[in-house]
């Protein structure tokens, strides 16, 4: 029988703490969050007698280089939601003191108790596309902010000129990011094929298509259209307690980037009366639904259609709606 050795890792920007045993006498080791530090950690845990399974939190990106390095070294990896781990940690009801080494021990305990699912990274072309798309979104947000500042009248000519310059530079960077995204999609046969399929859906252009593909990844990661919609946080959930049964509401979990990527195509369908607009009209006619409820229903319908065209490898057919 193969023994599984769990390792709890608390990530930080400059370092990470690794715990391999719940025994307080076993020291929690600290490594630099760099390629050299990753290699040192992998060399330290590889000789352990069993299958090494690393467990760490999502930290917004700091964990990704180590997670990929561990996968390439044939180690198993689990990435867990920080909110779930925080609640798990509080369930022990102990002192409020919090340290990186202590969190590493709790992550190890969480892995042993909960047996989290194994994490599989996106293929390289999808990871690169996601980096490009999210960088473009950040540039657009910065350009919008500096555009607002540039519109404010100030007495200093220097401030006015530099604000406008920053706005113009960001516009050029957005243009360069658009070209890089388009070139990356053209150079990847799988991405190009998926883009051709997804842009056949009315309301989804190349910009929205690249955003959706970047957050979706390989469609084979999802077993059904409902699971794909759930990953985007578009499936209502039922809350029942005693005699009170509130209506289903949207969960607050899921990929917010994917949800945002589906928002504007749904709005476009409704505004221009294309694609799923008839479905949205029917939803609106049912009990006078609120505007956001109608748009959310359209987003979920689009998610189901996207799953259908990507799994069947067939372009969208409007007669099938």
The tens digit of pLDDT for each residue in 139-192 reads 999 999 999 998 888 899 999 999 999 999 999 999 999 999 999 999 999 999
Q: Report DSSP state, residue 23.
A: -
Residue whose entry in the numeric block shows the structure tokens 């892995």: 111
Q: Is 53 helix (H, G, I), strand (E, B) or coil?
A: strand
**Mean of the pLDDT values across residues 76-81?**
92
Phi and psi at residue 247, to the nearest 5°: -65, 155
Q: In the sheet where 76-80 sits, what is the strand order?
A: 29-32, 15-19, 4-11, 51-57, 76-80
Q: Does domain 4-114 have CATH number 3.90.1150.10?
A: no
Q: What is the band of 4 on the pLDDT scale with cuts at 50, 70, 90?
A: confident
Q: Give 77's strand partners.
A: 54
Mean pLDDT of the chain: 89
What are the start-end ranges of the E strands in the chain?
4-11, 15-19, 29-32, 51-57, 76-80
- Exposed e or buried b per residue across 134-165, where buried means at least 16 C-beta atoms within 10 angstroms of its C-beta: eebbebeebbeebeeebeeeeeeeeeeeebee
Q: Tokens 């990186």 label which residue?
A: 100
Instruction: Using DSSP bridges, classify how beta strands 29-32 and 51-57 pair: parallel, antiparallel or unpaired.
Output: unpaired
C-beta separation of 215 from 255 below 8 A: yes
**Exposure pattern of 21-49 as b/e (b: 16+ CB <10 Å)?**
eeeeeeebbbbebeeebbeebbeebeeee
CA neighbor of 112 nearest in space, from 7, 39, 1: 7
pLDDT in tens, 197-236: 999 999 999 999 999 999 999 999 899 999 999 999 888 7
Note the pTM of the prediction, 2 decimals.
0.82
pLDDT digits (tens, 9 = 90+) for 269-321: 999 999 999 999 988 887 666 788 889 899 999 999 999 999 999 999 877 66
Structure tokens at 299: 């987003």
* 232 class by beta-carbon count within 10 Å (0-12 exposed, 13-18 middle, 19+ buried): buried
Asked if the model's pLDDT at residue 92 lies above 90, the reply is no
Q: Which of 35, 112, 120, 26 is nearest to 16 (CA)?
A: 35
Give the separation between CA 302 and CA 204, rounded to whole angstroms.
9
In three state form, how does the secondary structure of 239-261 look? Answer: CCECCECCCCECCCCCCHHHHHH
Contact 117, 78 (CB under 8 A): yes
* 294 within 8 A of 301, measured Cβ to Cβ: no
The answer to whether residues 263 and 291 touch, using CB atoms and an 8 Å cutoff, is no
What is d(CA 230, CA 286) in angstroms, rounded to the nearest whole number? 23
Cα 81 from Cα 89, distance rounded (Å): 12
**CA Rg value for the chain:** 24
pLDDT in tens, 98-123: 888 999 999 999 999 999 999 988 88
């Amino acid at each position: 029988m193969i023994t599984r050795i769990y390792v709890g890792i608390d990530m930080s920007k400059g370092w990470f703490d690794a715990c391999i045993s719940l025994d307080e006498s076993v020291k929690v080791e600290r490594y630099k969050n760099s390629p050299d530090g990753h290699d040192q950690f992998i060399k330290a845990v590889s000789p352990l007698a069993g299958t090494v399974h690393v467990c760490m939190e999502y930290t917004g990106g700091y964990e990704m280089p180590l997670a990929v390095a561990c996968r390439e070294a044939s180690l198993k990896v689990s990435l867990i939601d920080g909110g779930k781990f925080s609640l798990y940690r509080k369930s022990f009801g102990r002192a409020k003191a919090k340290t990186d080494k202590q969190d590493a021990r709790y992550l190890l305990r969480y892995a042993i108790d909960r047996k989290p699912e194994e994490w599989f990274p996106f293929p390289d072309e999808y990871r690169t596309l996601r980096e490009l798309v999210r960088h473009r979104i950040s540039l657009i947000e910065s350009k919008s902010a500096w555009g607002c500042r540039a519109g404010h009248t100030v007495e200093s000519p220097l401030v006015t000129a530099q604000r406008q310059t920053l706005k113009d530079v960001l516009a050029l960077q957005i243009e360069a990011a658009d070209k890089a995204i388009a070139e990356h999609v053209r150079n990847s046969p799988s991405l190009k094929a998926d883009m051709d399929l997804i842009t056949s859906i009315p309301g989804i252009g190349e910009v929205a298509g690249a955003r959706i593909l970047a957050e979706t990844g390989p469609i084979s990661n999802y077993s059904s259209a409902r699971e794909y919609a759930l990953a985007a946080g578009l499936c209502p959930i039922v809350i029942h307690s005693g005699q009170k049964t509130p209506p289903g509401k949207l969960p607050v979990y899921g990929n917010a980037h994917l949800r945002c990527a589906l928002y504007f195509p749904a709005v476009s369908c409704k505004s221009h009366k294309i694609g799923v607009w008839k479905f949205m009209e029917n939803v609106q006619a049912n009990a006078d639904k609120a505007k956001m409820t109608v748009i959310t229903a359209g987003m979920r319908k689009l998610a189901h259609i996207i799953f259908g065209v990507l799994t069947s490898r067939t372009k969208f057919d409007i007669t099938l709606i």
